[in-house]
Chain A
Amino acid sequence: MKTVAEINERIKNGRAVVATAEEIIEIAEEQGYRKAAEMVDVVTTGTFGPMCSSGVFINFGHSDPPIKMQRVTLNDVPAYAGLAAVDAYIGATELSTTRGMEYGGGHVIEELVAGRDVRLHAEAHGTDCYPRKEIDTTINKYNVNQIYMYNPRNAYQNYPAATNSTKRTIHTYMGTLLPEFGNITYSTSGELSPLLNDPYYRTIGLGTSIFLGGARGYVTWQGTQHNPGQKRAENGVPVSLSGTLAVSGDLREMSTRYIKAAIYDKYGISLFVGIGIPIPIIDEEMLAFTAVRNSGIITSIADKSGNVRLDETFTYEQLQSGSVEFRGKKVKTAPLSSIGRAREIAGVLKEWIEGGRFLLTEAVEPLPMENKINKLEIRGIV
């Protein structure tokens, strides 16, 4: 048994032993869980995938005379400004009013991370206290007051693979899906993925300090659609859609290596977000959780045309092999999230911790273990 405070002492002294979520698998196999749990202080995880529920809050600062911004665009991409005078939120999937699906919120966010200038246009009706009715200027991450990412749902614990039962190609946020179960796509970093290494959220909770887009960020809330009640396999790992995280961090410190705009053909814009979460090995049970392998992680599969209910399941080891047996034929499988970069993130976080530059935080409150997912009923309006 180790406390997070004890682990932090070791990190400060440069003596902490850190392994990535891939490395720990071998260590656990060689040493056994108990010995490995004594040896290793922290396991680092990583993921780098398209996460649509992402966006950035910006406070632009006041102009002279001032404006209460109402309709705001950044490089012609609308931002939500129904907040105080010069606060706005730009979401990753918002589309450009001039370039349609070629450019969107994700691109604006990537440009801001890169430090480039972005065109700001804002309109207002004008008030006694905010007389200005229009403004055109450029902003960047250095000349605004605050600019921080706030992503309401990232790091899905487990996400179903996708396929297509129809006779035509369909274009989805899970990529291009070929007719008649012509391919299967999946999005996960599997054994490297944060919440798959802490399936019951024993160490990851509100206030957990994380790697976000190359900067230090925090888990700030349960993610939207957080669904801890999902069916779980014997090792505790959920077998389909389950836990999610809301995360936040300072965009100024982020890097375009870990924040990248994405265009999914005929679907729209998304944002690749890099997240890494350190897991303190407080006891043998946590070590056992982090030693999970792709062969022990199961996911379901969904027909993205919505026509057929599919009951098949696959392990991530099967999906990562490049093809699976599905409905009597060999079907090609393809990833959407970058495992290479997920591995890199786990490695960077490991270096930060080993170098004493990143201390762990204890969650101030755990994520809920009970939560009901509601459907949106279409009800009569009174």
Chain B
Amino acid sequence: MKKVKVKLHFPRKWLGRPLISELITKYGIVFNILHADISYDSEGTLIAEISGDDDSVNNALAYIDSVDVKYKLYNKSIIIREEECIDCGACTAVCPSEALTMDSNNKLRFDKEKCLVCELCIKACPLKIISTEF
């Protein structure tokens, strides 16, 4: 089993094949879209989590490489020094993916699965307790 987080970069006026359904049918992987910002007239990005057995994931990535779409693997992840967190919520203001939210008890909740590693929260935290880990 392998699970990777990737950012796909679609060129402007992408007229390629229906990439995602191809990946799913050809390689039997699970393709979970975390964030998409694509339109015909401009460059687009799509952040997704691809999982499946090792070979399928590797082959799927190789296939993406062979078409006109570039991809970048996320090898970092966000860590929050939770014991120092005061639950102020400033980081939730900038988080584009709802990875950081306030729960009904006004406590910070971090959903790692949804994180796009955009690093916006690192600067937004007034206590500077968010960082990345390789």
Binding site for B on A (CB under 8 A): 48-50, 175-178, 183, 185, 260-265, 270, 272, 320, 322, 332, 334-341, 343
Contacts and interface: CB of A to CB of B under 8 A. Distances in A.
Interface string B108-122: 000000000000100
Interface residues of B, number: 19
A337 B88 contact: yes
Contacts of A260: 86, 127
18 contacts: A175-B124, A177-B93, A183-B93, A185-B90, A260-B86, A260-B127, A261-B127, A262-B126, A263-B128, A272-B126, A322-B101, A335-B89, A335-B92, A337-B88, A338-B86, A340-B86, A341-B87, A343-B106
Contacts of A337: 88
Interface of B: 86-90, 92-94, 101-102, 105-107, 120, 123-124, 126-128
Given A260-B86, A272-B88, A176 B107 contact: no
Contact of B89 (A177, A270, A338): A338
Contact of B106 (A50, A175, A339): A339
Specify which of A175, A260, A337 lies most central, judged by the most chain B CB atoms within 10 Å of its CB.
A175
B123 to A, nearest CB: 4
Contacts of A341: 86-87
Contact of A338 (B88, B93, B128): B88
A269 to B, nearest CB: 9
B126 A176 contact: no
A277 B52 CA distance: 57
A48 B123 CA distance: 21
A338 B84 CA distance: 13
Contacts of A48: 86
B94 A270 contact: no
A330 B124 CA distance: 22
Contacts of B88: 49-50, 272, 335-338
A279 to B, nearest CB: 22
Given A175-B93, A322-B101, A339-B106, A265 B86 contact: no
B93 A332 contact: yes
Contacts of A272: 86, 88, 126
- 3 smallest CB-CB distances across A and B, nearest first, come from A334-B93, A262-B126, A335-B89
A176 B128 contact: no
Which of B87, B88, B127 has most A Cβ within 10 Å? B88
A50 B125 CA distance: 12
A107 to B, nearest CB: 10
Nearest to B120: A176
Given A176-B94, A185-B90, A336-B93, 19 more contacts: A175-B90, A175-B94, A176-B90, A176-B123, A176-B124, A177-B93, A185-B93, A261-B127, A263-B128, A264-B126, A265-B124, A272-B86, A334-B92, A334-B93, A335-B89, A335-B106, A336-B90, A338-B89, A341-B87
Given A334-B92, A334-B93, A265 B107 contact: no
